[in-house]
Amino acid sequence: MKNLFTFSIVLFLFLTGCAKEKKQLNGEEKQNSNKESAQADLQDQKYFNLEGKIDNLPISMSFMSTEDYNGISTFNGHYYYHSQEIPIFIYLDEKEGNNLTMVHGGDDNSSERFKGTFEKGVYKGIWTKGTKSLPFELKETPKANYTEMVYLTNKKVVPVKLKSGVEVEGISTYNWYVPQDLKLQKELVKMVYPTYTDFQTYTQDALNEFEQEYKEEINDYVKNLTEEELKDFSPMTWNHTYNEYFEPLINNSNYLVMRQSGYQYTGGAHGISYQNHLTYDKRKKKWLALFDILDLDQREKITQVLDQVVRKEYNIPQEIDLNKSENSIFIVDKIYLSDDFTLSKKGITFHYGLYDLTPYVYGYFDILVPYEDLKPYLQKGFTYQAFD
């Protein structure tokens, strides 16, 4: 089990930018402009899918090009060991010419660093973690072994000038890396937004709604303020932001695991983040729901398995509510079964959002349950197809 601290998602959200509004493209136009070269190049390719080894340990890595708020190109993505197939977040630390350094974590001994060169589709150098250093070399994955992706973006900036002369601004952006295959794209959009089947229509409607609601909210607030109150008006908490992202976490010959994530700030001490995961089984050619994996008629017993995993990890006796144990991190008295999940060689990871089980400071909360513990409740015929 692993607690994913809010750092990773917030860092991802702030590192990720968006293209200028005048460069917005519809889905097909964007796909035509995003064809990959025969050999990957950091300057002219958006999405990179690589495979190779750290020393003798097989891994896969994918990362994506975006722009930060200053229009500067950056990268972020994930890598995973083939022995586990659990994605590990990485982000750009340094890039100069063909020199590229990708990092996981902060500055402590648990952080990991891929420092090397990326040239002609080959990323190689030295991986370090604490005092350990090992060579790595990764090459482009054959296109037949992964789902090609396309970058779609849309943005709206909503400036509002108050009668006092103070200006505030709302910004909403959508940055999606989604399958280039239009059928998969439509299925993905419809799963998340059931009344839509394409990126452009949904995002344009959402941006128009954002503009209308933002203007109405701030105008309703300031219209009753006195002139003295307007002078003391602080615009910072009214510079609202809404960002949404799609990205592949796992993209191999068997599965495509997508994460939808977002960040919203509408005033107050801090913003709020969210995430949701979707898994496409390439063998069955379908997006998986939890009932495809587990017999949900046995939900109560499955929840008891999760409860046992949590109690063992945090040394909480069976007779005590989770939030009543000494030094408990939980804000709930018992676990519930989350429908947000991902699969790996190790088992099923159940994902929980901010405040679902623990306070904001603990970030997202994950419960990894081995398949063996869930064996009585797995659907007949379900097997996890490991990536070789």
Q: What ranges do the domains of the chain cover? A: 37-144, 149-288, 294-377
- Confidence band (pLDDT; 50, 70, 90) for 236? confident
Cα distance between residue 5 and residue 140, in whole Å: 30
Instruction: Pick the range with the lowest mean pLDDT from 5-14, 91-100, 124-133, 200-209.
Output: 5-14
Cα distance between residue 158 and residue 210, in whole Å: 9
- Taking 50 as the threshold, does the pLDDT of residue 125 lie above it? yes
Tokens of 2: 């692993």
pLDDT at 93: 92
- Confidence band (pLDDT; 50, 70, 90) for 44? low
Task: For 294-377, give the CATH class.
Answer: alpha beta
Cα distance between residue 174 and residue 274, in whole Å: 14
Residues with Cβ within 8 Å of residue 308, at least 6 apart in sequence: 373
Beta bridge partners of 89: 78
Tokens of 171: 């910004």
State how far Cα 367 lies from the chain centre: 17
- Confidence band (pLDDT; 50, 70, 90) for 122? very high
Give me the CATH code for the 149-288 domain, please: 3.30.565.40
pTM comes to: 0.86
- Taking 60 as the threshold, does the pLDDT of residue 221 lie above it? yes
Tokens of 366: 């994950």
State how far Cα 385 lies from the chain centre: 23
Return the CATH number of 37-144, one of 2.40.160, 2.60.120, 1.10.10, 2.40.128. 2.40.128
The pLDDT > 70 percentage for the chain reads 86
User: What confidence tens digit (pLDDT) does each residue in 338-360 have?
Assistant: 999 999 999 999 999 999 999 99
Which of the pair, 345 or 35, is modelled with greater confidence?
Answer: 345
pLDDT at 21: 38
Cα distance between residue 323 and residue 168, in whole Å: 41
- Taking 90 as the threshold, does the pLDDT of residue 15 lie above it? no
DSSP 45-85: -SEEEEEEEETTEEEEEEEEEEE-TTS-EEEEEEEEETTT-
User: What confidence tens digit (pLDDT) does each residue in 305-331 have?
Assistant: 999 999 999 999 999 999 999 889 999
pLDDT at 20: 37
3-state secondary structure of 4: strand
pLDDT at 68: 54
